[in-house]
Structure 1
Amino acid sequence: LEKGWVGQVYHSTFQGKARGAGILINKSVPFVSSEIKSDPNGRFVIVVGKLYSLPVTLACVYAPNWDDSKFMSNFPSGIPYLDTHQLILAGDCNCVMSPLLDRSSTPVVARSKMAEYIEDFLQCCAMFDPWRYLYPTKKEYSTQMTPN
């Protein structure tokens, strides 16, 4: 993290090298934070502030690597200011949104509960995955989500 381009670092950590989420902001970016929420279990970090005078909420998530619907149903409710700030959400949701497109194996598996919660949240907030938007049929995956 001690790179020349890094100006601000926000993170959550857990025990040892297990888990962790981080947001790194280039030192040339005029971001001013006003509130930081860091998960003690290392699953997410949320930073509220202003970017070029625009109110934003930055969130980075590292979801469990099993179908933990409880985590994914609770996480979005902890993101503040959804009605007044632009949300930039990134990270690793550790789930397959489209089993047909996002898996290399041939057996199609059912969509996980976590994926269903994520899809509901994206629709509720009028957000989308920019990779899937640009490449609707490409057999790869992305974890970035952008406001619509």
Structure 2
Amino acid sequence: MSASYHDAPLRVLTLNCRGLNVPERRTHLLRDLRKTQISVAMLQETHFLEGLSPKLRNRYYPNNYFSNHNTARKAGVAIILSADLDFKELDKIFDTQGRFLFLKGTIADKLYTFVSIYAPNTNQARFIRRILRKLKGFAEGAIIMGGDFNTPLDPQMDTSTSHSSLPASSIHSIRKSLSEMGLVDCWRALHPDSRDYTHFSALHNRYSRIDYVLIQQEGLS
């Protein structure tokens, strides 16, 4: 997803890393971020343990923020920012279970709130409602949320089978909560009739799009 700050592109990525404790994986990630000129990377499943986060920075990406699980190497989210942004941090909120991270600050005097989330594979609707309640009291400026929702937001279009194992009522609840915050699925807004997927479930033999970048409606332009 691309927005802009002054005359430069603001390129945002969300990515489920499936663990970054192996040094080579961290090296490859930073290399790929640089190659694709990512400004802000919102990561999930870093699998870092609180207090023992390995190095995940270089001169191109010196600013990184982590929300790690406090007792195990599981879950974990992060936000990595490019050195080109001149980001000035104002505030942040972590989660002791490594499920979400809120980061607020300015880029070129414009206020942003970045959110990286990793939803559990059960009770997703309850999780999203809880996160958004917290976010409502924290967020200022333009909200950019990226993460692994562990469910498609539109099963008809976001799965290869046109249905989800999550009850329709739960998906409706998630979409309603996001709508109340004015958050819009960027990719779907730009590709209303397209299908593309980010995850394959061998158990269900189903491709699905469960990873999203969301921004407020007024930011789509």
What are the within-5 Å matches in structure 2 for residues 1-148 of structure 1?
Answer: 1-14=56-69, 15-79=71-135, 80-82=137-139, 84-105=140-161, 110-111=167-168, 113=170, 115-140=171-196, 141=209, 142-148=211-217
CA RMSD of aligned residues (A): 2.0
How many residues end up aligned between the 2 structures? 146
- 1:22 Cα offset (Å): 0.8
- 1:107 Cα offset (Å): 5.5
* Partner deviation per Cα, 1:60-98 (whole Å, 9 max, x = no partner): 10010123332121110111344x421111111111111
Show structure 1 runs of 5+ residues with no match.
none
Structure in which a larger fraction of residues adopt helix:
2
Retained in 1: the 8 A contact 2:124–2:150? no
* Partner deviation per Cα, 1:104-141 (whole Å, 9 max, x = no partner): 2366654251x333312332232211110111122223
Secondary structure of 1:65's counterpart equals coil
Q: Distance in 2 between matches of 1:108 and 1:65?
A: 12
Larger radius of gyration: 2
Against the structure 1 CA distance between its residues 108 and 20, is the aligned structure 2 distance closer, same or farther, given a 3 Å change threshold?
closer
Segment drifting more, 117-126 vs 96-105: 117-126
The alignment-based identity, stated in percent, is 22
Q: Calculate the TM-score normalised by the size of structure 2.
A: 0.60
- 1:16 Cα offset (Å): 3.8
Q: Moved runs in structure 1, 4+ residues, more than 3 A?
A: 106-110
